[in-house]
Amino acid sequence: MRVMMKCGAGIDVHKKNVVVNCRRVEGKEVETETRTFGTTTPELLQMTDWLASWGVTDVAMESTGVYWHPVYNLLEGSYQVMVVNAKHIKHVPGRKTDVKDAEWIAELLSYGLLKASFVPEKSQRDVRDLTRYRSKLVQERAREVNRVQKLLEGANIKLASVATDVLGVSGRLMLEAMIEGNVDEKEMAEMAKGRMRSKIPELEKALTGIVSDHHRFMLGEQLAHIDFLDGQIANISQEISVRLEKMSQKQPPTPPGETGKKASEADSEQPLRWQTAVELLDSVPGIDQRAAEAILAEIGIDMSQFPEDKHLTAWAGLAPGNNESGGKRYSGRTRKGNQTLKTTMIQVAHAARRKKGSYASALYNRLVGRRGKKRAIVAVARSLLVSIYHMLTRQEAYKDLGSEYFQERRKESKVDYLTRQLSKLGYDVQLTPQLDPAGAG
């Protein structure tokens, strides 16, 4: 097997230490050395000095939890670093030790048999941390709202049965009055705003309960926690917008030699900016600004890192798995991928399929009857991610194919099928094409 890398290193990463194997190939001679280092910054700096003394140019390591991050941070920029999927470099069973793992990684690296995982640049990784943290805060806020509803049920307050949003404008006024000691259900019901005023009789019944000092104290603490989470979410959202704006400004301008081209041609060759990408994704059904920021933080705006759209969907864990033996196809359940991106796309798909007259809605309705709700929603999520891939590649806004896409695609076969069905029922069918109303006049 031909050697592709003259001098490389394989790193087996753990929480408290890393095992490093350097491998240098000179003709037919192979020289190796293995050392173990701690994972504190001074010890990792000693590791980088040792790698430099060997003349290492390329380094490969497994993506072990989050423990590879400190190692990657110190190697990035000085070496060509590859973070590889541990499942792709399994060692021979029965011969597994940390030293053997490091040697195996270094050997695979020298033969060019490793495929690097996608690791975005530092600025994108920072935005990714912010969007993931914001998602956790939104989830925590939803849990706290559920605790409020549980507390109200314990106090015989059935506000959730009348108001869609317990913490809406009307609901919040009623809850704050309850905390202050107002137990008159009629006065609290009169605080309803807008369309809620038509439900005042129902509100009076729902607000009649047994509210003690304990309930008021608990409710006050829970609402204060929700307000705190709202403030954190708003601050992080603002920080994300600021980071994306800075990242857009740092992108390289159009090369000087390109200024003589036509304006339209120059615009089409302009590099895609982060803010523009957010606006493009915002045009997709089910995606708002927050979802667009979360998706871009995971995949970036440069789609050249994914050769085809199917590579992106597989990386996100939305592509069907391959499991075939003896000509028989077994379970095609989706493989593991980027869990954050997958969760976001599933949420987007649920929102998109509710839009009437959309392609996403038609696709979901076409599959849900025979494949079930979960498989249908995964198919919608995958379809939207494929669209996002091509939107970012071509710098084009989303174009909805419409709910009639599947009908028009198989129009002739469906007409034949329905005609045969009517014939079987005893009808003599003669079809006459309908005139186009636009051209009839």
Residue that is written with structure tokens 């920029």 in the block: 77
Identify the CATH number of the domain in which residue 26 sits: 3.30.420.10
The answer to the question of residue 252 being in a domain is: no
The answer to whether residues 425 and 298 belong to one domain is yes
The answer to the question of residue 54 being in a domain is: yes
Determine the structural domain holding residue 317 and report its residue range: 270-322+333-441
The answer to whether residues 373 and 302 belong to one domain is yes
| Nearest residue to 363 (alpha-carbon basis) of 346, 381, 386 | 381
Confidence of residue 260 (pLDDT cuts 50, 70, 90): very low
CA dist 365 → 285, 362, 373, 413 (Å):
16, 5, 9, 19
The answer to the question of residue 433 being in a domain is: yes
The answer to whether residues 233 and 195 belong to one domain is yes
The answer to whether residues 84 and 131 belong to one domain is no
The predicted model scores a pTM of 0.83
The answer to whether residues 275 and 226 belong to one domain is no
| Nearest residue to 319 (alpha-carbon basis) of 302, 336, 343 | 336
The answer to whether residues 143 and 100 belong to one domain is no
In this prediction, residue 113 carries a pLDDT of: 87
The answer to the question of residue 311 being in a domain is: yes
The answer to whether residues 342 and 422 belong to one domain is yes
In this prediction, residue 266 carries a pLDDT of: 42
The answer to whether residues 306 and 420 belong to one domain is yes
Identify the CATH number of the domain in which residue 205 sits: 1.10.287
The answer to the question of residue 115 being in a domain is: no
The answer to the question of residue 257 being in a domain is: no
In this prediction, residue 418 carries a pLDDT of: 87
> How far is the C-alpha of 275 from the C-alpha of 293, rounded, in Å?
9
Mean pLDDT on 171-183:
90
- Using the 3D structure, point to which of 110, 136, 164 is the last residue of a domain: 110
The answer to the question of residue 393 being in a domain is: yes
For the record, the structure tokens of 169 come out as 């404008």
Q: Name the more confident of 130 and 112.
A: 130
Is the predicted pLDDT of residue 100 greater than 60, yes or no? yes
Tens digits of residue pLDDT in 288-341: 999 999 999 999 999 999 999 999 999 999 988 777 666 676 666 777 889 999
The answer to whether residues 295 and 397 belong to one domain is yes
Tens digits of residue pLDDT in 216-243: 999 999 999 999 999 999 999 999 999 9
Confidence of residue 258 (pLDDT cuts 50, 70, 90): very low
The answer to whether residues 353 and 381 belong to one domain is yes
Give the angle subtended at the CA of 290 by the CAs of 276 and 168, to the nearest 5°: 140
- Could you give the number of structural domains in the chain? 3
User: 277-281 — which CB contacts under 8 Å span 24+ positions?
Assistant: 277/301, 277/392, 278/244, 280/391, 280/392, 280/395, 280/396, 280/397, 280/398, 281/388, 281/391
The answer to whether residues 298 and 375 belong to one domain is yes
Please give the share of the chain, as a percent, with pLDDT higher than 90. 65
The answer to whether residues 287 and 395 belong to one domain is yes
- Using the 3D structure, point to which of 79, 110, 141 is the last residue of a domain: 110
The answer to the question of residue 328 being in a domain is: no
